[in-house]
Structure formats: C-alpha cells, structure tokens
Structure 1
Amino acid sequence: MAKVYNYTYGLDVWLTTRKSLQLRAEIDERTAAGDLSASSPIPYQVARCMPYLQAVIKEGLRLEGSPGIPLPRVVPQCGAEIAGHFFPGGTVVGVNAYVLHRNKDIFGHDAEDFNPDRWLGDKEVVSRSLPLLNNEQFGGGSRVCIGKHIAFIELSTLIPDLVRKFDFELVDPCAQRKRRNVFFIKHQNLDVKISERRAC
C-alpha cells in the first residue's frame, strides 16, 4: 500500500494540469463505447488495455514511486563488474531509483517533467526505459515486492475512477513545492481541492 499511497500523493499535482484531460477523454470514450459503466468500478481487464492510462501509471511510478535512497545489495564473494567497474566480494552497492528515473540520458531532456506521452512514443526508447522502471520500482529477483501486481491493479482501477468522478485544483498554484526524503520522497506544502466533476 505504501507504493500506491506515495504514487497517488504526487498524482494530485498532475491531476490539476491540462494533461489530465487526455486521460479523462480516454475514459469518457471507453464509457461511450460501452466498455465501461459510469456507475460501476472500472474492471482491471479493461483498464490494463487503456494505453494512455497505462502511460500515466508508468510515468507516475517513474517520478513519484521511487525510494529516495539506494536499496543496498552485497556483491557476491567472487566479485562483480557493474557498469564497467569491478567491485570485490562483500562490497555494498546500490542504485538510487529517484535519481536514476530523472537521468536525461535515459528519459530525455524533459526527465523532470510528468510526460505520459514518453511511454507512447519511440518504441526503442520505451524498450530501453521500461526495464529500469520495472526493476527499480519494486525491486527484482528474490527481493521483488510481493505487492507489485496488487499495486498495478489498484492504480489501474483507482486512477480512472477518480478522474471520471472528480475535478482537482491546486489551492495555491504558486506555492513553492517542498519535498522530504523519508524512504519515499514525500511532498509537502501541497493542498489540493477535490470536487465532484462538473458536467461537460
């Protein structure tokens, strides 16, 4: 649940931007086509096939779901070469996913920006970036988070339900945003007004 909480905490900012209208349009189109019921929860089977929604989730996890500290691993006794450098056995190594996910060499010049379109564009860039996202968000191998798939189901059903039912507005759009590292990066000074969606 911590992953979903941390992600949705940062999602509030994005939902107050014009880009969120594109997700709302995708949801409204699926509802008009009969794939979604306006009064029932969104089924995961439908949500996982909504391209823009899945791009929003990936981008949100990239920017907001990362631990703000390296997750340490111990190099095996035989040693290991990592990124062209040899590390002797017993050395503690780690990657800070928060920093990695803002690397402009990987995610482009707008790596600090919330841009779901990056996951819908150049297939080569997406195929290079996605493994980093999957491995750093939830860990990997024997240490993968056991709640990974539950988190994706929750995000895939919660986000579209919020977007189709509510409008989001920053109370003070000019307020200086602050962040605090408490394992996950927590936003401070972030007040959002949530109201029932206005009729179109």
Structure 2
Amino acid sequence: MRDRRIVLWRHGQTAWNLERRFQGQTDIELTEAGVLQARRAARLLAALRPDAMISSDLLRTRTTATELASRTALEVTYDSALRETYAGVWQGLTHEEIIERYGDQYAAWKRGEPVRRGGGELETEVADRAAPVVLAHADKLADGGTLVVVSHGGTIRTTIGRLLGLDPRNWEALGGLSNCSWSVLGESVCGWRLLEHNAGSLPEPVLGDDT
C-alpha cells in the first residue's frame, strides 16, 4: 500500500452561489468573499505539504487554485474533465425557477435517479470523465504523497462516489460541500476510503448547484 491521499477542494463563493442560481459549466468568477475563502483555505491546505495539484479550467476553480499555488510553488495542471456537470437549460436558472419549470425532473434528480438535468450530463458521465483524471494523477504520486484536486461540488461528489465504489443511486447520500471546503480520500488495503468530508471551517450553509 502506498498510503497516498487525495484532497478534493471546492472553489470559493460566487455571486450565483448566493443567488442559488445553477452554474453548471457557466464560467462565473469568485466574489471578493470567495477570494478570501480561497486564501484562508490555502493557508490550511499548504500545511498538508501537497505534492501535486490539478484543477478544473473554469475561472472560479482557477482563481481558487492560484491561492494554494502561490503558497506552495506547485504548478497547477488544468483539465476540462474536472469541470462541473453540464446542466443544459438549467444553467443560469435559480433552484426555484427550475422547480417551477422542470419540477418532475428536479424531484427525480433529488431521489437519486439518473437524470439529464436540463438535457445535460448524467452524473455517471461526469464520473466517467473526472475520476480517471484524478486517478491518473494520484498514480504519479510517490508513497505517502498528497494530490489536491480543485473542482466543483457536483463533480467532487460523483468522483468520490466512483472512487469509493458506491452505487450511483447512493451518491446523493454524500452531502454537498460548502464553498472552499474539501474532502479527503486515503488509500487503504481495500482501496480508497473517505477520511474527511466537508472539512475546513466551522459549519456553513452549502450554497450551489449541489444544494
């Protein structure tokens, strides 16, 4: 066993998070508060002495990753496979608007059923693109190494579900991440296991697509 760790870190706050507006792959920047969240979290994550960092290529994750890169001198590898779930016509709508216009589809998603939200991606398809990228970079780590993955709430949840070997119907049981909080997977003799979830700060509301 190589005793590696994967830290999956969600981006900082955006204006659309505050408005409960579904972001998906729309490229939204961080608020001033979101930048400060990333800065604070970066100080904590730097103490883990990470060995490598990969990130979604969207602006909100790039800005978040930059804060940790500046404290660790790590080079960030950006990959579009780590983007949030593409949610088609849901993107840009508030949760209330989605419920009003697509209530049956929204309810099915919340029950954990496979749904192409707004005509977009299935959660299993998100895992299909994101999890292999995470594993490929984790495999490059030396024994005891730590990989930081800067991504989005929905993508992180589906990646965790895939790496833990959970049935996709049960992925919804993993609660969402607050802005700039993270989850930690550790290597065991039986594969990856969840060591921490939604860690990094005092409890805060989960604001975002995965609410």
TM norm. shorter chain > 0.5: no
The one of the two structures with greater contact order (alpha-carbon pairs below 8 A, sep at least 6) is 2
